[in-house]
């Protein structure tokens, strides 16, 4: 009896819920249709087209084609160019409805999708896909069509996609920069001397236009290849690498169910039945062999883990479980159920640690960093990742630095000893705590034919992927931390997101909008978002100064990452390195970390809010007197070291770049010349004083974070700085930078344009600690 009532109750509940759901759907549909009707109407008005591109904004004549695929699918009547023509895939009613339902506002101004989708949507009714297929079948559909288009498909890391004229997308820029050289080419072509051709000759103009069009076409063509490549990667990763993630599975179930309901309701509202889905004959003939699959997507990986070697010389051929080693237990068996190497590898990684990627030339800096880590009371294991080779001499130096007794401390220790715990110096450890150092040889993780792709900056991403930790701090050899490393894992930005980054000096700004446009273009498309729940990027990414002209946004000398949470994005970091249109827009590895996350559809990353500071000592007021005898308003610090102030507390210095010696270039300086310049560091009274100062540890009393001035120059009449940073090429072999605590002042014609930055005075206790760390790093007794 009780059971029966229970059943009746839950059936009642079900009916009520169903009614509510259908009712909500109906409202949703009605609202959506109505709002669409309005936008359609407004298309007849004189308002500019909704989808504007920065390119045709510059030049009306350029009919900017979204991608080669769209040019082609134009012909099939499937899709179209930007300016109001039939229906592009993303403008299909169902897709818009589903996108609308995801509630992510599209702020990008461009949407480019992989060409595979064109094949998929030409073979299938859109509603039949979204109304019927679950996640797994969508994955299969994507890859069936990828292989259908090209049975031999495999990602090609060696494809030559050289980007020429990256800044000149607008015709007028192109004309300004290249008309000269094209005229020369033209004169050779028509065999007439250059000086006899008028610049306004219509035939010449036409020729230049043709050259421009053909350049634009091939640049777009290459961009589409990148779009295709990164789309396939993010879908593969979501479909087959992170598909065992319970959070993802749950979210995906909900996502799919919701879509099925919506599309069914849509059909019902039009008195139709949901069309059924069937694979085409060709699609069904494609055999998706899982084991070969991963090799096609990651042809550059050998699918061998790196070799891990402990400081004692014990060698492991898979990620070692350090906890088991510490307890003297055998290595636990892998629990991974995935058929894929990449998932298995991820699941074997464990624990927390510090990761460096070095070559032999970084040996001395690494030794100093390890001394510093000992002084910081670091308890985390350290993995030194290398690629080509690391000499035995380097390894010996590093192991010695980590393990030798370290008990003669600098005099500066006395002042700060009481800040450390009682067991900081133990008799047993013979001084500062010893470090658990590992060497990771990644040479064999890369297939032979692609090995040369990983020379240089690529190493840092290999270190990111192939260290054995689940959570890690990736540092450069010349990074100097001012906090015990555990501090970085406790940052609330890291705890919240599992990916924490720092910003660079807000100094260079020569980045055109076309760079930002490119990255928006290769980020997840609307179709990725409705098909695979890979969200389009939001203001979290798009509001960053990078998209407003900052050339350097991130400072990658210290990065904190959680592997389990961001594995797919880490794989994207490596992939982006293969594309010249990416690498030619980025200096080294700097921006790739966060851009790869955005491109992979993972915006869960946080930045320390402040841009980098100049750290050291404020220039004496006497040296900053204006012509009228008054003191300058802006405070100045000139220093070769950027430092990073924790924005979560607003005042602590957490790490600095370029080591700890005042001038990292000290051995390359002509000190007589340096002294005779007499414009900076005026309190140093002879060449010898300069030399001593340059070799000594940086002394840190203050920090200046200049106001952000991207694309702004504070021209003023008070001799106040116009820009927040000034690169002082005359000192320390061009490594010196001066930073100002404010810019601007009174302007001609009245008013002011002052912008204030931040000046931080470190308390004596902090200065004493910095002095101790500096002495340790430099090796002062």
Ligand X SMILES: *[C@@H]1O[C@H](CO)[C@@H](O)[C@H](O)[C@H]1NC(C)=O
Least Cα distance to 758 among 700, 701, 704 occurs for 704
Q: Which stretch binds ligand X (CB under 6 A): 50-58, 243-251, 329-337, 743-751?
A: 243-251
The whole-angstrom separation of Cα 200 and Cα 206 is 10
Q: Which stretch binds ligand X (CB under 6 A): 95-103, 241-249, 423-431, 465-473?
A: 241-249
CB of 532 to ligand X, least distance (A): 13
CB of 682 to ligand X, least distance (A): 54
Counting residues that bind ligand X (by CB under 6 A) gives 9
Provide the β-strand partners of residue 295: none
The whole-angstrom separation of Cα 91 and Cα 86 is 9
Report CA torsion sign: 394, 400, 402, 407: negative
CB closer to ligand X, 214 vs 631 = 214
CB of 470 to ligand X, least distance (A): 9
CB of 135 to ligand X, least distance (A): 14
Position 713 contacts ligand X (CB under 6 A): no
Q: Could you give the residue ranges of the DSSP H alpha helices within 243-388? A: 246-269, 281-285, 290-297, 322-326, 341-348, 363-375
CB of 272 to ligand X, least distance (A): 36
CB of 104 to ligand X, least distance (A): 16
CB closer to ligand X, 131 vs 498 = 498
Entry field: residues in the chain: 781
Least Cα distance to 530 among 100, 59, 26, 57 occurs for 100
CB closer to ligand X, 214 vs 290 = 214
Report CA torsion sign: 421, 423, 429, 434: negative
Position 338 contacts ligand X (CB under 6 A): no
Packed helices 764-778 and 363-375: angle between N→C axes, nearest 10 degrees:
140
Distances (CA, A) of 11 to 3, 4, 8, 17, 132: 12, 10, 5, 10, 25
CB closer to ligand X, 244 vs 360 = 244
CB closer to ligand X, 564 vs 682 = 564
CB closer to ligand X, 217 vs 280 = 217
Whether residue 572 contacts residue 605, with contact meaning beta carbons closer than 8 Å, is answered with no
Q: Kindly tell me which residue out of 56, 245, 665, 758 binds ligand X, with binding defined by CB under 6 A.
A: 245
Provide the β-strand partners of residue 771: none
Q: Kindly tell me which residue out of 53, 80, 565, 608 binds ligand X, with binding defined by CB under 6 A.
A: 565
The whole-angstrom separation of Cα 248 and Cα 565 is 11
Position 564 contacts ligand X (CB under 6 A): yes
CB closer to ligand X, 245 vs 318 = 245
- Please provide the distance, in angstroms rounded to a whole number, between the alpha carbons at the two ends of the chain: 87
CB of 252 to ligand X, least distance (A): 10
Position 247 contacts ligand X (CB under 6 A): yes
Position 248 contacts ligand X (CB under 6 A): yes
CB of 604 to ligand X, least distance (A): 7
Least Cα distance to 623 among 676, 684, 680, 662 occurs for 680
Position 67 contacts ligand X (CB under 6 A): no
Q: What DSSP string describes 615-635?
A: EE-BPPGGGSB-TTSPBPSS-
CB closer to ligand X, 532 vs 694 = 532
SS3 212: helix
Report CA torsion sign: 424, 425, 429, 432: positive
CB of 602 to ligand X, least distance (A): 8
Provide the β-strand partners of residue 402: none
Binding mask 194-223 for ligand X (x = CB under 6 A): --------------------x--xx--x--
CB closer to ligand X, 157 vs 498 = 498
Position 701 contacts ligand X (CB under 6 A): no
Q: Which stretch binds ligand X (CB under 6 A): 139-147, 162-170, 240-248, 687-695?
A: 240-248
CB closer to ligand X, 119 vs 242 = 242
CB closer to ligand X, 467 vs 716 = 467
Distances (CA, A) of 558 to 81, 172, 442: 43, 41, 21
CB of 217 to ligand X, least distance (A): 4
Whether residue 591 contacts residue 618, with contact meaning beta carbons closer than 8 Å, is answered with no
Whether residue 61 contacts residue 84, with contact meaning beta carbons closer than 8 Å, is answered with no
List contacts with ligand X (CB under 6 A): 214, 217-218, 221, 245, 247-248, 564-565
């Amino acid at each position: 009896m009780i059971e029966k009532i229970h059943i009746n109750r839950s059936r009642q509940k079900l009916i009520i819920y169903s009614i509510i759901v259908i009712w909500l759907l109906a409202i949703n549909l009605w609202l959506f249709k109505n709002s669409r009707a309005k936008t359609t109407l407004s298309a007849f008005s004189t308002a500019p087209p909704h989808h504007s591109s920065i390119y045709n904004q510059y030049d009306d004549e350029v009919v900017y084609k979204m991608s080669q695929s769209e040019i082609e699918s134009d012909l099939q009547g499937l899709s179209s160019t930007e300016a109001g023509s039939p229906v592009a895939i993303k403008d299909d009613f169902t897709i818009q409805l589903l996108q609308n339902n995801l509630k992510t506002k599209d702020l990008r101004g461009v949407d480019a999708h992989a060409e595979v989708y064109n094949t998929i949507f030409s073979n299938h009714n859109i509603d039949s896909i979204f109304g019927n297929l679950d996640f797994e079948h969508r994955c299969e559909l994507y890859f069936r069509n990828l292989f259908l288009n090209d049975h031999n498909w495999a990602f090609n890391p060696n494809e030559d996609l050289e980007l020429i004229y990256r800044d000149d997308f607008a015709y007028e820029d192109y004309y300004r920069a290249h008309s000269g050289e094209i005229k020369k080419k033209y004169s050779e072509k028509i065999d007439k001397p250059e000086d006899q051709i008028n610049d306004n000759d219509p035939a010449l103009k036409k020729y230049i236009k043709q050259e421009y069009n053909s350049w634009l076409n091939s640049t777009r063509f290459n961009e589409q290849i990148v779009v295709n490549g990164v789309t396939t990667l993010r879908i593969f990763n979501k479909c087959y690498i992170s598909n065992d993630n319970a959070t993802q599975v749950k979210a995906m179930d909900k996502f799919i169910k919701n879509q099925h309901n919506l599309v069914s309701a849509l059909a019902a509202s039009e008195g139709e039945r949901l069309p059924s889905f069937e694979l085409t004959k060709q699609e069904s003939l494609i055999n998706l062999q899982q084991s070969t699959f991963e090799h096609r997507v990651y042809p550059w990986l050998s699918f061998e883990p790196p070799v891990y070697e402990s400081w004692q010389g014990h060698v492991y051929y898979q990620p070692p479980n350090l906890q088991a080693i510490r307890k003297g237990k055998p290595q636990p068996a892998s629990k991974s159920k995935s058929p894929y190497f990449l998932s298995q590898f991820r699941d074997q990684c464990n624990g927390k640690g510090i990761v460096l990627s070095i070559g032999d030339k970084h040996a001395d800096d690494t030794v100093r960093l390890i001394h510093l880590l000992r002084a910081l009371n670091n308890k985390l294991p350290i993995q030194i990742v290398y690629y080509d080779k690391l000499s035995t001499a380097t390894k010996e130096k590093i192991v010695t630095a980590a393990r030798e007794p370290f008990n003669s401390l600098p005099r500066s220790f006395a002042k700060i000893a009481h800040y450390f715990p009682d067991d900081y110096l133990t008799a047993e450890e013979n001084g500062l705590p010893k470090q658990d150092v590992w060497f990771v040889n990644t040479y064999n993780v890369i297939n032979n034919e692609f090995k040369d792709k990983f020379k240089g900056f690529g190493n840092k991403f290999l270190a990111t992927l192939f260290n054995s930790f689940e959570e890690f701090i990736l540092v450069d050899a010349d990074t100097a931390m001012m906090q015990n490393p555990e501090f970085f894992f406790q940052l609330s930005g890291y705890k919240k997101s599992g990916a924490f980054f720092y910003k660079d000096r807000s100094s260079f700004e020569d980045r055109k909008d076309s760079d930002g446009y490119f990255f928006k273009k290769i980020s997840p498309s609307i179709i990725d978002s409705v098909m695979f729940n890979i969200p389009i990027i939001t203001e979290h990414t798009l509001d960053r100064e990078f998209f407003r002209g900052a050339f350097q946004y991130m400072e990658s000398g210290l990065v904190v990452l959680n592997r389990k949470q961001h594995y797919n994005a880490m794989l994207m970091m490596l992939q982006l390195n293969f594309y010249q249109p990416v690498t030619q827009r980025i200096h080294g590895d700097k921006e790739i970390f966060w851009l790869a996350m955005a491109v992979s559809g993972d915006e869960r990353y946080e930045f320390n809010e402040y841009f980098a500071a100049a750290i050291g000592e404020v220039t004496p007021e006497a040296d900053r007197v204006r012509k009228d005898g008054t003191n300058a308003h802006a405070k100045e610090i000139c220093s070769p070291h950027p430092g990073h102030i924790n924005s979560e507390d607003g005042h602590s210095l957490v790490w600095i770049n370029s080591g700890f010696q005042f001038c990292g270039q000290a051995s390359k300086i002509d000190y007589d010349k340096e002294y005779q310049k007499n414009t900076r560091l005026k309190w140093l009274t002879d060449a010898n004083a300069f030399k001593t100062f340059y070799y000594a540890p940086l002394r840190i009393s203050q920090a200046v974070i200049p106001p952000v001035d991207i694309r702004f120059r504070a021209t003023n009449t008070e001799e106040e700085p116009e820009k927040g940073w000034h690169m002082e090429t005359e000192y320390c072999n061009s490594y010196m930078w001066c930073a100002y605590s404010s810019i601007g002042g009174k302007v001609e014609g009245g008013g002011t344009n002052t912008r204030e930055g931040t000046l931080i005075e470190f308390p004596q206790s902090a200065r004493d600690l910095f002095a101790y760390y500096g002495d340790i790093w430099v090796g002062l007794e």
